[in-house]
Structure 1
Amino acid sequence: MTDESSHFELSVLLVTYNHELYIERALDSLFSQDFSGAIELVVADDASSDATLKRIQRYEGRDARFTFKYLSPVANLGITRNYQRGFSACLGRYVAVLEGDDYWSSPYKLTRQARFLDQHWECGLCSVNYFVFNEDDASFVSRVKRSDGYRLLTARDLISDNLVGNFSTCLYRKSALETLPAELFDITSYDWIVNICVARNSLIGFIEEPMSVYRVHSRGAWSNVARIEQLEQQLSLIPEYDQLTRQLFHASFAKLQRRLRKAVLLSRRGQSLGTVARALAWSATNLEQFIPPVVVIVLKGLTPPVVKKIFLKIIRRGGGI
């Protein structure tokens, strides 16, 4: 452990909640980083009921670079309040975030991000491209096309398209986190609005090489929410976020609202059409059992080819074929 006066070039905020299935992969990726300085590891566990903390404790003493700091166990705070205390507890000049169900795919991630911020004083945050790993079909897809370059993003860019995507891609200047408005933590806040607030005072650097993995799985706080619910939740938060940022980005938020409303409407129509299609598919499959074969043959012969194609499309979309 260390006293409050000790200096760290880097703090890593490890945010966990019932991540025992994933935490060792996350920690292995952290301990494999080639960062040469002292690292403060701040463990912000949100009252896990599984073996997450025990598995973290097994890593103590493995690497002399790391000093462990465990935040006091309390009742479940929820994501927003847990991040608030985590950010406050970090002492390093730079603060990286690693969520317990994600992991880093490059051992050079922290070094490259720190070097980027050393060279780009216009940026309060450096993010990286990342892979989205879907557990259901074991697929990896990079968030954007891979390259050796970087982009500079503004708050308006993030409102239009949250390219940063998740906290595990982020390395912050501690000074940038200290400018976050206190009321940010009185509302539901995820990486998106945190980074928009950071970008009120600085640019965001985005390295286009994928160096992190965002895991989509059924236990995820966000990834297990149905798509239409994600859209509706984001839509409901926009007025609060617009007010929080003093309507500085009102035009951008309003444009996003229009896009989200259209997306919700299309999703609802898709759900309705899917229900109808499944019913038609069930009817087609089951009615055939009760119609004499000769009648089925005659009906098939009399049905125009175009109608057959349309009906088959409906069945295949809605009937799970």
Structure 2
Amino acid sequence: MKYPLFKITIECMTFNQSQYIGKTLDGFCIQQTEFPFVCCIIDDASTDGEQIVINTYLETHFDFSESSVSYTKETDYAKIIYAQHKVNKQCFFMVLFLKENHYSQKKSKTEYLKKFNEGIPYEAICEGDDYWIDPEKLSKQVSFLETHKEYGFTYARAYTCNEKDEISNKYIFGSNAETFNDIIARNTIPTLTTVYRKALYSNYLKEIKRSDQWGMGDYPMWLYFILHSKVHFMNDIVGVYRVLPESASHSRSLKKKIKFVIGEYRVRLDMLKYANRKDLVFLAQKELIKGLVISIAYKIAILCRLK
């Protein structure tokens, strides 16, 4: 199979997000670009009917005619579907319906895309409960990186919404961070708004050993990227970040909140060690204490409301 010369890959990891995934897919398909792009959607063996939702979306919006470039194949690990959008001819989907849940087995989900992704210079990330609203997001960010070789990645801002799709105008996620010190102090980079060079990401994978204690994959990446390249902040609102009651970064459970705060602290310490920046350890400790205090105060406030 000969694929187009894709300029960018969109990586979408999803599991049991059937009620949200439709908007995520819409956000991909509205992108207006002068280059072909491919959305790699990996469903981690969902049990809530999400695979049916994605499959129905494909059948409705993508070209599976005899003259199309589409194909479907079965492997020992997944059912794979590749197709081109009926209307947006620059938009292609590569969907992997995994047969076993890889997260619970601590198995990599991205290894299946390595060969397919070879030669594609840029990558974006959007998980299955977030979504894009700016049809020029990819075009603007790729254009910037194409003309500013010293920059390794670019990001923007995002609205926040809850599980009921209620968008908050009071809290907009994302603000300018130009230095390593800025991001060590506070992660202000919404993952769904980023685009980065794959070469930089490849170097990150070679040099940084991921720790199970981190509990997050994006924050150490941004810290590494800003150590090895310039970062560009685009002051546009390009998407919507969904804040759920229970997720990797948010929880009503004090135990889970504390675990997340400690994981964030571990990231800071490990990346400070990598950067040989002992001068910022006190800052990391201060952020740890602040995070623990906020988590405990939040739990106390909930208990008081229940009374």
Q: TM-score range by the shorter chain?
A: 0.7 to 0.9
Q: Distance in 1 between matches of 2:102 and 2:162?
A: 27
Unaligned runs of 5+ in 2: 64-85
Instruction: Report Cα offsets for 1:122-148 as digits up to 9, x if no partner.
Output: 221111111111346934131257xxx
Correspondence for 2:7 = 9
Q: 1:85 aligns with which of 70, 86, 111?
A: 111
Identity of aligned residues (%): 21
Correspondence for 2:26 = 28
Superposition deviation, residue 191 in structure 1: 1.3
Superposition deviation, residue 213 in structure 1: 0.6
1:143 aligns with 2:170: no
Instruction: Report Cα offsets for 1:221-275 as digits up to 9, x if no partner.
Output: 3334547743542324534553355252443343122232144236536755876
Cα distance change, pair 247–37 in 1 and its aligned pair in 2 (3 A) = closer
SS at match of 1:158: helix
Correspondence for 2:136 = 108
Show the 5 A alignment for 1:233-244: 233-239=260-266, 241-243=268-270
> How many aligned residue pairs are there?
271
Cα distance change, pair 32–272 in 1 and its aligned pair in 2 (3 A) = closer
Q: Distance in 2 between matches of 1:193 and 1:209?
A: 24
Correspondence for 1:174 = 198
Instruction: Report Cα offsets for 1:150-173 as digits up to 9, x if no partner.
Output: x562332211111103x2111111
Q: Distance in 2 between matches of 1:200 and 1:52?
A: 38
Larger radius of gyration: 1
Q: Counting strand residues as a fraction of each chain, which structure ranks higher?
A: 2
Q: CA RMSD in A?
A: 3.1
Instruction: Report Cα offsets for 1:166-225 as digits up to 9, x if no partner.
Output: x21111111111111345445333211121122221122111111111011235333345
Q: 1:206 aligns with which of 233, 244, 269?
A: 233
Query: Contact conserved, 2:261 with 2:292, CA < 8 A, in 1?
Result: no
Q: 1:246 aligns with which of 269, 274, 288?
A: 274
Query: Contact conserved, 1:242 with 1:248, CA < 8 A, in 2?
Result: no
Q: Counting helix residues as a fraction of each chain, which structure ranks higher?
A: 1
Q: Distance in 1 between matches of 2:12 and 2:159?
A: 19
Q: Distance in 1 between matches of 2:286 and 2:302?
A: 24
Query: Contact conserved, 1:238 with 1:253, CA < 8 A, in 2?
Result: no
Q: Distance in 1 between matches of 2:109 and 2:184?
A: 21
Cα distance change, pair 267–34 in 1 and its aligned pair in 2 (3 A) = closer
Correspondence for 2:90 = 65
Question: Which is further off, 41-50 or 15-24?
Answer: 41-50
Question: Which is further off, 77-86 or 155-164?
Answer: 77-86
Q: 1:43 aligns with which of 41, 57, 60?
A: 41
Tell me the TM-score normalized by structure 2.
Answer: 0.75
